[in-house]
Amino acid sequence: MPPPVPSPVPATPRAPVSRRRDDIEGLRAVAAVLIAVYHIWFGTVSGGVDVFLLLTGFLVTGSMVRTLERDGRIGIGAFWSRTVRRLFPAGAVVLGAVLAGAFAFLPRSSWTAVIADVQAAALYHANWHLALGSVDYMARDSASSPVQHFWSLGVQGQFYLLWPLLLTLAALAAAGAGRRVRAAAAVAVAAVFALSFGYSLWITSAEPAWAYFDTGARLWEPALGGLLALLLPYLRLPRALRPAAGWAGLAALVACGAVIGDSLPYPGYASLWPVLAAVLVLVAGAEGEPGQWSANRLLGLRPLVRLGRHSFPLFLWHWPVLVFYLEVTDRVEPSLTGGLLVLGVSFAAALATSWLLEGGIDRVLRDRRTPSWSLAAGVLFAVPVLVGSLAWGAGIEQQRETRARLSQDPTAYPGAAVHLSPELAANLPALPVYPDTTTVKRDTIAQTSECNVTIPSTELISCEFGDVDSEYTLVLTGSSHARHWFQALRPIAEHHGWRLVTMTKNACQFSAEEQVFGGEVYDECTAWNAQVAAEIELMVPDAVFGLGTLTQQGDGSLEHVPDGFVEHWRWLDGLGVDVVAVRDTPRFAFDVADCVDRGGRCSQDRGYTMAAASPLEEAAGELPGNVRTVDLTGYLCGEQECPGVIGNQLAYYDDNHFSYSFSSSLSVLLEPLLLEALPDAPVADTTLADRASSVIGGGEAAGEPGADGI
C-alpha cells in the first residue's frame, strides 16, 4: 500500500457531508428498466448504461476522495477485493446459467462463440473481445451473444482498476505541492474527462463499431460522474429551479432511446443526452430533502429504491433471457406478451440472485469481511464458470478432431467431389456433417485471416502460395466471395506448379466503381483497389481470378455483371493479363450451420439469389477478349434448390460463404474449367480430378454440372 498522504492544508474550508440519497437508487432502477424495455421491444440503445457509468464514477470518486481527505490514503487492495466480492458472484451466477442455456437452447454452431464470450465476460474484458469481433466482417454472428451486455461490466472493471491509482497519484501530487486533495483530484479527473471525450468523438466518427465497446471512448462518462461528485458541494441551484431541473433530466432520460435510437453514431455526441440528463437529476437533488412534487422525491419512493437495489442482477439477466426466448420461439423480436414474460422472468431471476447472494453468501461471510475473504468469495464464484467453459470447449475440440479423422475417408466425405461418381452419390452413407458446426466458422476464417484486409483498413496485404518461383502467376483478388475460392485454387496451383498470389478485402469487390458499405461510401475500399491495381500493374501476372457477377439475397433476377468489373477487365486486357471471371455463389435466407444443428432441410430456392441464366453468358458478346468465364452453379445447386450440405460436407459456414473443407473439395471440379480458361498455363502430367476419381472408385465422372448427385 502507498504511504499515507500528508495534508499540509485543510481538505476544504468545510468538508462536504455525505448523506444518503435514495433518489440515486431510484435513478438506477429507471436506468435498468429503460435498458430492458428498449432492448426487448425496440432493439435500440436507451442511455441506461451511460447512466450506470456516470453513477459509478460519481459514487466511487466521492467515496475515495473523502477517504483520502480523512485518512490520507486509499486501501487499494481492500477496494479491489470489495469490488470483486460485489461484482463477481452475481455475474458468475448469470454466466453459469448462460452456459447451461446455450447447451439447452442454442444450436451447436454457436457454442464455441458463446464459450469464448463467457470467458471474456468472466475475466472482465468482454468489451475488447466484442470490439475485436465487431470489426471482423467474416466473423459476424447472425445472432447476438447472450452475454453481449457484459461489455459495460468490462468497462466498469477497468475503471475500478485505474481509478484508485489515479486518485492516489493526485493526492501524492497535492501533498508535494501543498494543495488540497480535492482540487488535485478534480484536475486529474477533469484531464481524464477531456482526453477521453475528445477521443470518443474522434473514434466514434472513424470507427463507430469499435468505439461502442472501447474503454477509452467510455471513460469520460465515469470521469464526468467523478468530476460532478467533487464539484457538487459548490453547485447550488436556486430552490425554485430544482424541481424543474429534476423533471427535465428525468424526462430527457426516459425519452433518450425513443429520440436517438440508432439514428446517431454512439457513443460520441449522442451519449451526452443521457449523461447530462442524469447530471440534472443529481444536481437537482443535491441540496437537502427533495420537494414534495419533485422528480427526486419520486425517485426516492420505496418501490423504486427497492427496485434500484436489484438493478444490477436485473441488468445481468434481461439480455440472456431475451436471447433464449427468441431462440426457443424462433422469433426475431418478442410480442407484447412475450416481452412482458421476458421482463417478468428477468425480474424473478434478479430477485432470486439477490436472495441467494445477500441472504446466503453475505450471511456466511458476515463475520469475515476482510479483503482476503472478499476476494476469495468473488473468485470462487468465477472459477467454476471458467473451469466449466474450458471443459466444454475441450469436449468440443475432441469432437472436432474425431470428425476430422473421419473426414479423411473421401468415400464418406467427398464434398463437391461426389459429382465425380454417380454411384457414390447414390450410395453416400448418412453421417454427421463435416466440418463440425461448432468450429467451422472459426477454422474457415483462421485459414486466410493473415492474408486478408478487414473493413477499416486500407493496407495492401498479399500472400504467395504454390511455386513462388514459377514463371506463371495467378492472382486471386476481391471480396470475401472471391476469398472463399482460395482453398479450391490452392491445390490446383500447387499441383501444376503455379504461383498463386492473394489480395482480398472484406466486402470490397475488385471493381472500378465506387462502393458502399453500411449505407455509406466505402472509401477504404476505393483506396485498397487503387493499391491492388498498382501492384498488378507492377507485377503483370499471367491471369487474375475474381468474381464475374454479384448475387443478392431475395431476388435472383438482381444477379448482374457490374460495370466496374468490366472496366477493370478492359484495363487488364491492356496489360495483356487474362481474366477468369467466376459466377457468384448462392446465398441463403438462414445460417446453414444453425439449420443443420436444428435438423432442418437446409436448402434454399435457387431463384432466391441466382438468375435463371448466367449473366456472364448473356453478356458474353460484350466482354473484353481476355475474359474467360467459369460457372459451377450446377455443382452447387439442383434445378430448383441449392443445398447447404453436399457430399456430407457443410458447404457454407454461414448464409453465403463456403466452408474451408467444401471449398477445397471444389478444386477437382474447378480444375478442368480453369485449365480450359487458361490454355497458356503449365499443366502437370495428371490432374486432381483423375486422382480423386481413382480414390473414390467411381467409374465415369459426372461430366457437365447438373442436378444429380448432390
Map 186-226 to HEC letters: HHHHHHHHHHHHHHHHHHHHHCHHHHCCCHHHHCHHHHHHH
CA-closest candidate to residue 151, choices 339, 319, 395, 402: 319
- Cα angle 411, 416, 421; round to 5: 55
Question: What grid cell was written down for 647?
Answer: 457430399
CA dist., res. 699 & res. 710, Å (int): 17
The verdict on residue 222 lying in a domain is yes
The whole-number pLDDT of residue 699 equals: 43
Output the domain CATH number for residue 540: 3.40.50.280
The whole-number pLDDT of residue 42 equals: 87
CA dist., res. 512 & res. 533, Å (int): 10
227-236, 458-467, 663-672: range with lowest mean pLDDT: 227-236
pLDDT in tens, 115-140: 999 999 999 999 999 998 775 544 44
184 in the same domain as 87: yes
DSSP 580-610: EEEPPPP--SS-HHHHHHTT---EEEGGGTS
Is there a contact between 285 and 61 (Cβ–Cβ < 8 Å)? no
Residue 9 has pLDDT above 70, yes or no: no
pLDDT in tens, 280-296: 999 998 876 777 788 98
pLDDT in tens, 348-365: 999 999 988 876 566 655
483 in the same domain as 560: yes
The whole-number pLDDT of residue 361 equals: 62
539 in the same domain as 459: yes
The verdict on residue 508 lying in a domain is yes
CA dist., res. 163 & res. 144, Å (int): 31
pLDDT band at 702 (very low <50, low <70, confident <90, very high): very low
The mean pLDDT value for 301-315 works out to: 94
186 in the same domain as 71: yes
Is there a contact between 274 and 51 (Cβ–Cβ < 8 Å)? yes
309 in the same domain as 224: yes
User: Which of 366, 390, 414 is where one domain is finished?
Assistant: 390
Q: Which residues of 561-586 are buried (b: 16+ CB within 10 A; e: fewer)?
A: bbebbbebbbebbeeebbbbbbbbbb
Count other Cβ atoms within 10 Å, centred on residue 340.
13
**Residue carrying the nine cell digits 471512448:** 217
The verdict on residue 563 lying in a domain is yes
CA dist., res. 187 & res. 181, Å (int): 10
Is there a contact between 606 and 670 (Cβ–Cβ < 8 Å)? no
The verdict on residue 216 lying in a domain is yes
Domain count, the chain: 2
Residue 703 has pLDDT above 70, yes or no: no
The mean pLDDT value for 245-270 works out to: 89
- Bridge pairing between strands 452-453 and 499-505: parallel
Instruction: Print the domain residue range for 510.
Output: 450-588+615-628+662-678
The verdict on residue 274 lying in a domain is no
pLDDT in tens, 177-218: 888 999 999 999 999 999 999 999 999 998 888 999 999 999
State the sign of the Cα–Cα–Cα–Cα dihedral 30, 32, 36, 39: positive
User: Which of 375, 390, 405 is where one domain is finished?
Assistant: 390
Residue-averaged pLDDT of the chain: 89
DSSP 633-659: HHHH--SSEEESEETTEE-BSSSS-B-
Is there a contact between 647 and 415 (Cβ–Cβ < 8 Å)? yes
The verdict on residue 278 lying in a domain is no
pLDDT band at 366 (very low <50, low <70, confident <90, very high): low
162-176, 220-234, 400-414, 664-678: range with lowest mean pLDDT: 400-414
User: Which of 390, 406, 439 is where one domain is finished?
Assistant: 390
What element of type H or E holds 545?
Answer: strand 543-547
Is there a contact between 89 and 365 (Cβ–Cβ < 8 Å)? no
pLDDT band at 166 (very low <50, low <70, confident <90, very high): very high
CA dist., res. 247 & res. 142, Å (int): 40
Query: Please, which residues have CB within 8 angstroms of residue 497's CB and are 6 or more apart in sequence?
Result: 466, 467, 470, 472, 682, 684
DSSP 36-103: HHIIIII-S--SHHHHHHHHHHHHHHHHHHHHHHHHSS--HHHHHHHHHHHHHHHHHHHHHHHHHHHH
Residue 167 has pLDDT above 80, yes or no: yes
Question: What grid cell was written down for 322?
Answer: 431475451
Residue 325 has pLDDT above 70, yes or no: yes
Residue 671 has pLDDT above 90, yes or no: yes
79 in the same domain as 178: yes
The mean pLDDT value for 245-250 works out to: 94
The verdict on residue 533 lying in a domain is yes
The verdict on residue 22 lying in a domain is no
